[in-house]
């Protein structure tokens, strides 16, 4: 099962939101789920990453030591998490900001030009949504539809314009990975 | 499962407190419990109740002292350094037999340390970091739902015994999100709707003297022996724990909070590898489940204590088991979280070891 | 018909105090009790006994009393008053309690304009612990911990609390009186009365400082102590009203 | 006629009342009270004006005043 | 015996500190240790050293932090409530590995309690009432001469290991007078005359960073494991204790401080009554004399812990003896001082009892 | 010949700060470092990093630095300065640190006239913990713990530290500046210089308050933050010198 | 041996000084000695009492639970300590302020009109010295001479006039008990 | 000739220097630096008077000034 996920990137890239949305969607699909931001040593200006588990069974440990899937939004995060992903696991990475290739050959790689697609949609800040759409479509951790519903809960109260952009970005990510 | 909400641990405690009728919250910001203070600042004011961000942790605990004295359900929260500062006040509340519910979302110490998760305030929580002969009831939930549920219980136990009670959570529990069922709080029927000790109540006739000071020969000793009776009663009635896969176990992990969750995952892995391991999870750290662990030690030779501290809970496990078994230690500190495979490895080492050898991971 | 014009207030228990002969706490207690009676507050008044010689105020006041941790009375008062706004809270503190260890709590309760009254007995010494230097000890005054007299360069200056807090917007009233003469005692009573009224009217925090003798730790007979007080303390601790929200100099929260 | 009443056993002998009395009619008595101090007494009660000054100054609620 | 002086315990500590070259004392008055602060206010100024009566205990401990950081031999003292307030600061000093010597002259708690003698801060002293994984070395003298002598040692141990050390004395020890030999302090040769860590020293080249904060993944854990090594070393090297009449003993009293003195008198009485009783007196409460007591438990079936608290040191005795013996408790609290005859009675009861029964006096 | 007229002070490490874009701590750090250089104090200066965003000052200052417990920097500074009078101690604090939890330590160090300099960065918010209300948060200003804006009746008024302490006799110098314009930055530097000189001359305690932006927790772009600072903070926090022992308005200890 | 002593009286009667002098003298005679003021519950205006042990052997417990000798300066103290004195022990009491008789018949009683003698000497406040002189002479716990020497140490720096009064009072007490 | 030197990779793009320059010769560059922000650049360097205002305002020690 591809249920242990780690999302990572720069501080401002909405990494925590990615994790929350996955967990929210997981819950809406009646799954067991935990979300835990790695806040430990991170300071202002640092990098952000979080642990998400979406599972049919009870979640014992919320720590994702050996992720099945990593969602990587920037270069330093790829350097950090490429080595720990499970053999046979998945690396989704943002080719807009990362110009190197994945080195491991025992993992499956999905390249997502997240910023570029987000730019096309009209909002660079929605790059994280593109990534989510891609992983949902590709691996079915949660359904894209549920993710879109989760948006309404998690971003409750944000303007409709932003919501539309986010939805659109997710769909584009999904389309890319289909 | 449809009425579940996804909630942060810190916020789950806050919402439970609001539901449980917490009337006054006093707190001072500190990571990793900030969301709790922020949540209370919003919800308490929405509900027309009392919220103050005090000038310090010391002011907060003493505001609790005042609010509890006038009969309010009262709460504060902090993390290590702030809880240290509250020790005098906690000792005062215990001495004056005032109920209060408080939370320590533990981070790395000693000193300023870091803001990573930790369980290294175990001694402080269970032995009373303050001065004098007193105890506080300590709950150690291990998921968001339990944070919510034990907040209810924390308030009730505090009122029932007129004692400060607390939740000791590590930073992961405070920061993580999980689905939560927002159950409704029901006040236990044995709790009075109005506290008999409350000050400033025009309907009471005799002036009330509320204090932790007892001069006069033997007065404080008599008072403390009364407290001791209460402690004995709590030890008899309030122990909580969870047992997992003990039936055929040959070795038992003892762990609480997030450590217990990692340990459980490790246990499942170890079982897959054919190791007959079970788990005992204390939910109350004081009173500690002494009789239960003691009984277990009659048939188990090896226990592995897993904690995010360098050997604190292990003392209670050793005290509970009275030399009947070997008690090993898997300790991490200051943000280090136990790793499943490390635990499994240690289990294997222990089972392979002989004689009296005690194995610790550091 | 003969009338009693002075006697024991109802809000005072008939007990005899444990205070030393000539101790200023006695008069301060009585004034508070008289006003609790006059305002009819006995059933909802809560006195806070601090850590200091007045820790036993409960033995003397005939209304609810709570004992706070050293210096934390303003926080305790805040908790009580916020929790039960219909209570009437009298925070009674010594100089060590209020102006040393309790400095932060005092200033922030003042700044929040909490609706309680603080009675501040300034006897320039730590009475209860046997005569150590207080934040209000005068320059040159000896104590157990400044046996050669307080030295400004090493130990700082005697703090004037009224002056320090008077401009905080939460302060409704701040005044300093003394118990050295009948007239001054009556003025102190007027100050406390004003504080009580402010508190009832929800106008903010009121501070009544009382310059007061501690014959025992000053090492003087009571009458000598009164003279010393007059000749030394009143020079540094000017009597008067430093803030009165009703007198057009601000205040209230 | 104005007069004062002294609760002799409460008096701690501080002498504040003596100092305060404008009529100068108070003094320390010869004998001791329960606490071993010379309590206050009035030696010329007729001169009392009932001004209450003595009572106001007394830290120990020793003196009642009647008018 | 001619160069003896009659001195109060509190003052003996003060004089020893002055002799040991204490350069900075910061304190705040509290009974029953006031004579110590007063003594220092006089002597330190006489010697041209630093004395400050701080605005609070918290200020005092943080002044210690500063003074220790610039390489001064530094000291503070207080009693229960004040020591509670210092817990955050003590944890900071332990975290930053700054040496300091401090004194708790214990009084009745919890809360304001009373000013009578007590040993009820045992847990706080030995388990670190503050937050995080740290320890302080705790000396428990039992007469005025020892108060003097262990003050020397307290300063030296603090410097040697860069750790806070303390004397835990009950109020009787602080208040009593006994003849004292004012021995001369000699700085151990292994201690550097100048501390390598001192800040603000123009002769050091690289800027120094002195802290208890360690962010960055794993940094604090590494630091804490280093502290743990130090703790292991101290446990191996610094244990102190006294054994009396153990050779033929059938039952052993374990007691420290004033309790040990009363217990010793009781032991002598009991011996007169034909009871073969001996005494084991821990002088260091942390590190606790675990191996020594453990070895003793191989041949002794019954121990009676005598303490002026309601069952605190007994946990260490139980941990040390690992279930090999029955550990009984004679606990008094809050100014109650054990009475010789009561102890003798309990010894008799224990010797008459059978099976696993544990006898406590309350 | 071309000369460098502005560059990196020697007392600054070349490291890049972890502060957010536009954070006021950067300028404050630099001014301190420039003056440490100008006075030639690098070998005996000790900076105190408080608990707040500037807890990592050691990474930036190229002289000895110690990290104090939250709010206790003035006590730590006192211990260092008394223990080693030839050291030069710079106490650097945020508004939560100095004016909330550290109120008592601040006032008493001021009152004792300790010979160190305090740099007080007032950004009207708790930066490090993510934007809670500070004692200096303005009325109406929202924060994590007053989401509807600070309400005076419930939460008290923003404290003006310079005004509060200026009359304590131990205070040698107290001034408030801002880092919103080059001119104001230069004035702040003058203030700090004055404080340094006082400290060297043993004249007592000097406080330099710096009104400073925290764009992140104010939820604004840096430039928006500067404008907001000018339009809102400077109204409540008047700039100027509140006490100068050399200007004939007292001070020194 | 008559070496466990308890002194008791009013706050201002110099009770603690009595104890200190006995201990100081004991030390000067090369004995083992402890002194411990019972400060526990006592407050301003309360009573004072202290424990003194003067012994040829090491002093184990400094607590005097069952005194061999009690030196009683006022009425309430007699009420309190008469019951605890050892059978066969000694009660010295100040008849100037206590007008009742000792009720126990298993103890030895020495009546000392301490205040009156002190008044005769010229200083009511030296009543405690009278008492000390009496017990020293009668029981030899320490020598009267040593007590007089102890005065110089313990009251070092007090005026010579006061010292003389104290010495005189001690001698008068001794004479009375001789 | 007065001039400034910009340590591009330190610039956090706050824009304080832009606001402060009396000559109005600073602006955010098109490209990104290592931190992903548009660093400051000067588009009319000859106009620089070396007044140091930009450097004084910079929280990040990005600008050196030469005269
Ligand atoms: C935390 C703490 N520190 C110190 C003490 C000891 N203590 C008791 S009263 C007191 C000072 C009393 O002085 P003040 O407040 O001036 O009152 P006074 O007795 O003069 O009326 C002190 C320091 C304490 N009880 N608790
Ligand atoms: C005793 C204690 N309480 C609380 C905290 C948490 N804490 C860390 S920084 C901070 C406030 C910082 O605000 P400020 O002093 O204004 O500095 P800024 O970050 O705004 O520069 C707090 C409350 C702590 N570390 N220790
Ligand atoms: S010591 Fe001073 S303040 Fe205390 S009761 Fe005596 S005179 Fe009053
Ligand atoms: S009432 Fe007035 S006149 Fe009469 S005794 Fe008292 S003070 Fe004197
Ligand atoms: S004032 Fe009161 S206590 Fe003092 S002498 Fe007069 S009556 Fe007695
Ligand atoms: S949070 Fe505010 S104070 Fe902290 S670094 Fe960012 S801008 Fe500066
Ligand atoms: S030095 Fe002056 S003129 Fe030149 S760029 Fe900077 S601000 Fe503009
Ligand atoms: S002020 Fe500094 S950090 Fe800000 S934009 Fe200009 S050069 Fe960049
Ligand atoms: Mg006082
Ligand atoms: Mg701030």
Give me the domain span that covers residue G137. 2-177
User: Residue E118's pLDDT is what?
Assistant: 93
Q: Do the bridges between strand E137-139 and strand B177-181 make them parallel or antiparallel, or are there none, so unpaired? A: unpaired
B245 touching A, CB under 8 A?
no
For ligand 6, atom 5: residue with the closest CA: F19
Cα(H65) to centroid(ligand 7), Å: 8
Evaluate whether residue F2 is within a structural domain.
no
Evaluate whether residue C249 is within a structural domain.
no
Residue F35 has pLDDT above 50, yes or no: yes
Evaluate whether residue F253 is within a structural domain.
no
Structure tokens at F37: 């250089």
Task: Report chain C residues whose CB lies below 8 A from the CB of E112.
Answer: 51, 55, 67, 69-70
Instruction: Residue F86: give its domain's CATH number.
Output: 3.40.50.970
For ligand 2, atom 10: residue with the closest CA: F52
Rounded distance between C-alpha atoms, residue E311 and residue B287, angstroms: 14
Q: Quickly state the pLDDT bin for A46 (edges 50, 70, 90).
A: low
Cβ <8 Å between F25 and H59? yes
pLDDT (tens, 9 = 90+) of chain B, 362 residues, equals: 458 999 999 999 999 999 999 999 999 999 999 999 999 999 999 999 999 999 999 999 999 999 999 999 999 999 999 999 999 999 999 999 999 999 999 999 999 988 889 999 999 999 978 999 999 999 999 999 999 999 999 999 999 999 999 999 999 999 999 999 999 999 999 887 777 778 888 877 788 887 878 877 788 888 999 999 999 999 999 999 999 999 999 999 999 999 999 999 999 999 999 999 999 999 999 999 999 999 999 999 999 999 999 999 999 999 999 999 999 999 999 888 999 999 999 999 999 998 889 999 99
Kindly report, residue by residue over E202-215, the tens digit of the pLDDT.
877 788 887 878 87
- H49 C-beta closer than 6 A to ligand 7: yes
Rounded distance between C-alpha atoms, residue B146 and residue B103, angstroms: 13
Q: Quickly state the pLDDT bin for F252 (edges 50, 70, 90).
A: very low
User: Residue D32's pLDDT is what?
Assistant: 76
Nearest CB to E24; choose among F49, F66, F83: F83
User: Residue E200's pLDDT is what?
Assistant: 82
Which parts of chain G register pLDDT below 50?
40-43
CB contacts < 8 A (C, F): 72
Which atom of ligand 4 lies nearest, measured to the CA of D3?
A: 4
Structure tokens at A155: 């971003």
Q: ipTM of this predicted complex?
A: 0.96
Residue F172 has pLDDT above 70, yes or no: yes
User: Residue A90's pLDDT is what?
Assistant: 96
User: Residue B362's pLDDT is what?
Assistant: 92
User: Please, are residues A69 and A18 in contact by the beta-carbon 8 Å criterion?
Assistant: no
Q: Is E300 helix (H, G, I), strand (E, B) or coil?
A: coil
User: Residue G39's pLDDT is what?
Assistant: 64
Sequence-distant (6+) residues with CB within 8 A of G37 are E175, G16, G19, G48, G49, G50, G51
Nearest CB to B340; choose among A24, A32, A61: A61
- C23 C-beta closer than 6 A to ligand 3: yes
Evaluate whether residue F102 is within a structural domain.
yes
Evaluate whether residue F63 is within a structural domain.
yes
User: Please, are residues B107 and E213 in contact by the beta-carbon 8 Å criterion?
Assistant: no
Task: Report chain E residues whose CB lies below 8 A from the CB of A41.
Answer: 215-217, 219
Instruction: Residue A125: give its domain's CATH number.
Output: 3.40.920.10
Task: Report chain B residues whose CB lies below 8 A from the CB of E83.
Answer: 131
Q: Which domains does chain E have, with CATH numbers?
A: 2-237 (3.40.50.970), 242-352 (3.40.50.920)
Rounded distance between C-alpha atoms, residue F150 and residue C153, angstroms: 40
**Best F42, F77, F82 residue to mutate vs chain E (most E CBs within 10 Å):** F82
Rounded distance between C-alpha atoms, residue H23 and residue H36, angstroms: 27
Which atom of ligand 3 lies nearest, measured to the CA of C94?
A: 3
Cα–Cα distances (Å) from C249 to C98, C109, C111, C166, C190, in that order, read 24, 19, 16, 10, 18
Which helix (H) or strand (E) segment is E62 a member of? helix E57-69
**What φ, ψ does residue C134 adopt, rounded to 5°?**
-105, 165
Closest-CA residue to E139 (of E158, E162, E120): E158
Residue A150 has pLDDT above 50, yes or no: yes
pTM listed for this prediction? 0.97
User: Please, are residues B259 and B308 in contact by the beta-carbon 8 Å criterion?
Assistant: yes
User: Residue A42's pLDDT is what?
Assistant: 40
Kindly report, residue by residue over G103-114, the tens digit of the pLDDT.
999 999 999 999
- C52 C-beta closer than 6 A to ligand 1: yes
Cα–Cα distances (Å) from C232 to A137, C120, C145, E76, G129, in that order, read 85, 19, 20, 33, 37
Evaluate whether residue F50 is within a structural domain.
yes
Which parts of chain E register pLDDT below 70?
1-2
How many domains does the structure of chain C reveal? 1
Q: What is the mean pLDDT of residues A39-63?
A: 79
User: Residue A40's pLDDT is what?
Assistant: 47
Residue of E nearest to G32 (CA): E179
- H16 C-beta closer than 6 A to ligand 8: yes
For ligand 7, atom 6: residue with the closest CA: H54
Q: What DSSP assignment string belongs to H1-67?
A: --EEEE-GGG-----HHHHH-TT--EEE-SS--TTSS--EEES-GGG-----HHHHH-TT--EEEE-
Give me the domain span that covers residue F130. 25-244
Cα(C208) to centroid(ligand 4), Å: 27
**What φ, ψ does residue B166 adopt, rounded to 5°?**
-145, 160
F58 touching C, CB under 8 A?
no
């Amino acid at each position: 099962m591809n249920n242990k996920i780690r999302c990572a990137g720069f501080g401002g890239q909405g990494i925590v939101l990615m994790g929350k949305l996955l967990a929210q969607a997981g819950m809406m699909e009646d799954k067991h789920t935990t979300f835990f931001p790695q806040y430990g040593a991170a300071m202002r200006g640092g990098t952000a990453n979080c642990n998400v588990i979406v599972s049919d069974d009870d979640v014992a440990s919320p720590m994702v030591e050996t992720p099945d899937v990593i969602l990587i939004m920037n270069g330093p995060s790829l350097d950090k998490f490429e080595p720990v992903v499970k053999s046979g696991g998945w690396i989704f990475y943002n080719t807009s900001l990362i110009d190197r290739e994945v080195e491991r050959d025992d993992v499956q790689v999905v390249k997502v030009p997240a910023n570029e697609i987000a730019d096309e949609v009209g909002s660079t800040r929605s790059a994280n949504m593109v990534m989510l759409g891609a992983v949902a479509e590709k691996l079915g951790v949660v359904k894209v539809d549920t993710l879109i519903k989760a948006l309404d809960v998690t971003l409750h109260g944000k303007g409709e314009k932003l919501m539309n952009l986010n939805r659109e970005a997710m769909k584009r990510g999904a389309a890319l990975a289909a | 499962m449809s009425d579940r909400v996804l909630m942060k641990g810190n916020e789950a405690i806050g919402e439970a407190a609001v539901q449980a009728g917490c009337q006054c919250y006093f707190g001072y910001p500190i990571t990793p419990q900030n969301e709790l203070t922020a949540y209370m600042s919003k919800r308490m004011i929405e509900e027309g109740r009392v919220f103050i961000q005090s000038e310090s942790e010391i002011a907060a605990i003493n505001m609790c002292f005042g609010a509890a004295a006038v009969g309010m359900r009262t709460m504060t929260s902090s993390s290590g350094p702030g809880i240290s500062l509250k020790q005098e006040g906690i000792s005062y509340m215990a001495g004056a037999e005032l109920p209060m519910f408080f939370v320590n979302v533990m981070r790395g110490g000693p000193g300023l340390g870091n803001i990573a998760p930790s369980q290294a305030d175990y001694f402080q929580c269970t032995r009373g970091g303050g001065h004098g002969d007193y105890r506080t009831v300590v709950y150690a939930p291990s998921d968001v739902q339990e944070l919510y549920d034990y907040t209810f219980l924390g308030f009730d136990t505090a009122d029932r015994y007129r004692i400060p009670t607390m939740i000791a959570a590590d930073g992961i529990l405070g920061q993580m999100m999980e689905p939560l069922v927002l159950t409704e709080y029901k006040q236990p029927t044995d709790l009075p709707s109005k506290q008999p000790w409350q000050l400033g109540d025009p309907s009471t006739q005799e002036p009330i003297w509320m204090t932790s000071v007892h001069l006069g020969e033997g007065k404080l000793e008599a008072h403390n022996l009364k407290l001791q009776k209460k402690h004995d009663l709590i030890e008899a009635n309030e122990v909580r724990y969870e047992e997992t896969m003990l039936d055929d176990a040959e070795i038992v992990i003892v762990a609480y909070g997030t450590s217990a969750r990692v340990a459980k995952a490790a246990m499942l892995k170890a079982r897959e590898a054919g190791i007959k391991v079970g788990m005992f999870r204390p939910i109350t750290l004081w009173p500690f489940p002494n009789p239960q662990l003691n009984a277990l030690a009659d048939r188990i030779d090896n226990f592995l204590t897993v904690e995010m501290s360098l050997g604190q809970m292990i003392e209670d496990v050793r005290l509970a088991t009275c030399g009947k078994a070997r008690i090993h230690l898997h300790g991490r500190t200051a943000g280090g979280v136990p790793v499943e495979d490390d635990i499994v490895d240690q289990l294997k080492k222990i089972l392979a070891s002989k004689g009296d050898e005690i194995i610790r991971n550091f | 018909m003969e009338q009693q014009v002075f006697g024991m207030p109802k809000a005072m228990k008939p007990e005899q105090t444990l205070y030393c002969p000539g101790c200023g706490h006695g008069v301060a207690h009585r004034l508070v009790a008289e006003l609790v009676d006059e305002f009819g507050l006995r059933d909802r008044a809560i006195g806070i006994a601090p850590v200091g010689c007045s820790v036993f105020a409960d033995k003397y006041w005939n209304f609810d009393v709570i004992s706070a941790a050293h210096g934390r009375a303003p926080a305790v008062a805040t908790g009580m008053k916020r929790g039960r706004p219909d209570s009437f809270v009298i925070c009674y503190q010594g100089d060590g309690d209020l102006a040393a260890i309790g400095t932060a709590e005092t200033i922030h309760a003042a700044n929040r304009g909490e609706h309680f009254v603080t009675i501040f007995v300034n006897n320039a010494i730590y009475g209860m612990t046997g005569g150590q230097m207080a934040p209000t000890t005068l320059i040159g005054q000896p104590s157990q911990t400044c046996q050669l007299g307080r030295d400004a360069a090493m130990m700082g200056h005697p703090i004037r609390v009224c002056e320090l807090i008077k401009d905080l917007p939460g302060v409704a009233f701040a005044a300093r009186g003394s118990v050295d003469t009948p007239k001054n005692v009556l003025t102190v009573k007027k100050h406390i009365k004003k504080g009580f009224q402010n508190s009832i009217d929800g106008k903010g925090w009121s501070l009544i400082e009382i310059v007061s003798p501690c014959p025992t730790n000053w090492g003087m007979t009571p009458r000598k102590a009164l003279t010393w007080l007059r000749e030394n303390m009143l020079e540094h601790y000017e009597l008067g009203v430093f803030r009165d929200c009703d007198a057009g100099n601000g205040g209230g929260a | 006629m104005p007069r004062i009443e002294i609760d002799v056993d409460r008096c701690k002998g501080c002498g504040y009342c003596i100092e305060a009395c404008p009529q100068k009619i108070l003094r320390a008595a010869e004998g001791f009270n329960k606490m071993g101090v010379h309590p206050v007494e009035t030696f010329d009660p007729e001169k009392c004006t009932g001004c209450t000054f003595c009572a106001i100054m007394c830290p120990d609620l020793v003196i009642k005043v009647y008018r």
